[in-house]
Amino acid sequence: MNIDSYIVKESKDKVTTKPHVLPIYASSSFVFDNIEDSIDVFKGDKDAHKYSRYGNPTIDAVADKIAHMAVYGSDLEAFGLMTSSGMSAISIALTSFLKTGDQVLSQGNLYGGTTELLNKIISRSGVETIFTNLQDLNQVEDILKSNPKIKICYFETPANPTMACVDIEAITQLCRQYGVLSIADNTFCTPYLQQPLLLGTDIVIHSTTKYLNGHGNSIAGMIICKNPEHQKSLWTTLKLVGSTCNAWDAWLTNQGLKTLSLRMDRHSSNALALAKFLEQHGRVKQVNYNGLTSHPDHLIACKQMKDFGGMMSFEIDGSVQDGIDFMNKLEFCTLAPTLGDVDTLILHPASSSHLNVAKEIRERNGITDGLVRISVGIESIEDIINDIGAALDK
C-alpha cells in the first residue's frame, strides 16, 4: 500500500464521532469505491459527491442551511446553490433563463454593478433590459401587457442605496399573471428580516459576502428557489460556467450565520437611532431609512420586513466635493466599498459604486452628488453618532 492510499484508508477508519463544527472539505474530487459506484453516480442513479465544481459537502451544507432559512416558518421546500460571489449569483440566475431576443424588466435604482451587468454583459446576448419604476404597478402591468418578450422581472428591495421598496406580493402577483419569472435581491435584509420566497418570488439571490457572513472575510453568493425544475436549470448553468463557491468561503459564511439574528437586531436598532439623529441635523437634506415614518416606503417595509436592517443613506446639502470632504473627515467609521460587516462602513455612491452610471440616471433615481450610504455597524451607537456628527460639523 502506498502512503497516499494509507492516509485515505486511515482517515476513513478513524472517523468515529460527529464533529461539532462543520468540517472544511478542501478536496477538488471525491473517491469512488469501485467503477460500478462511479457509473451509478455519473448516471444520476446514486446521489454522491464527485467533483467540487459539481458539489462539495461543506458548500452544500451551508447552501441547505440558508435555503431552509429562506422558507422558515412555512411548509415550503427550498433549494440553494452557493456561488463565487453575489454578482455571479445574479449572473447565473439571469442567464439560466434568458436567450437571445428576451427582455428583462427591472428598476432604475438598482445597485450600480447590477445595472452594468445588464447593460454591458447580458445585453451582448441580445437581451434587452427595460428599466421602469416598479412601484408604479399600473405602469408595470402596461409594460408586461405590451412586451410579451419579457421573461424575467428582476428587483431589489430595499434598493441600493436609496432604500426604495418594491411591494413584493404585488409585483410577483403581476409576474405570475403574465408568466414572468420573478427574481429578488434580498442581500440587505437576509432571510431573518425578509422572506421574498414566502411572498411569491420565484428566485432569491444574496451576496453572502455581506450580512449573512457579517465579518468581511469571505466573498460568496447564494441562489435560492422553490421549483425543482428551476433548481436543475440553475445548477446546470452554475456547473458549466464554473462560478461555484469554495469550501473555505462557505465555511466562513457558516460561522457568520451563527450570530445572524443577534447582529441584525443590533444593526437595526443602531441604524434607527442614527437615522433619527441625522433627520435633525441642519446639513442633512434627506434621510433614507425604512424605519423612519417619514420614508415614503415605510408602510411597504412594515408589511414585508420584520425589522428595518442596518442600511441607510442620507443627502448632504452640497456637491460631489462636499460629499468627498465629509468622508475624509471621518475618524471612527470605515470608508469601504462593501456593506453588512459588524463595523460601520460608509460609501459615497457618486464617486464609487455608481461612478459608471450616467449622472442623469443616478439623479433620476435619487442617487445625488451629495448622497452618502451607510452600513451601520454593531459598535456603540454613541461612537457612530459622534463621528458622523463631528464630520458634518467640521
Of the candidates 40, 50, 53, 64, the residue annotated as catalytic is: 53
Q: Is residue 111 among the annotated active site residues?
A: yes
Catalytic annotation, pick one of 25, 60, 154, 210: 210
Catalytic residue among 185, 202, 249, 387: 185
Q: Is 210 known to be catalytic?
A: yes
Respond yes or no: is residue 53 known to be catalytic. yes
The residue annotated as part of the active site, out of 25, 60, 111, 226, is 111
Distance CA 234, CA 80 (A): 10
| Residues annotated catalytic, as ranges | 53, 111, 185, 210
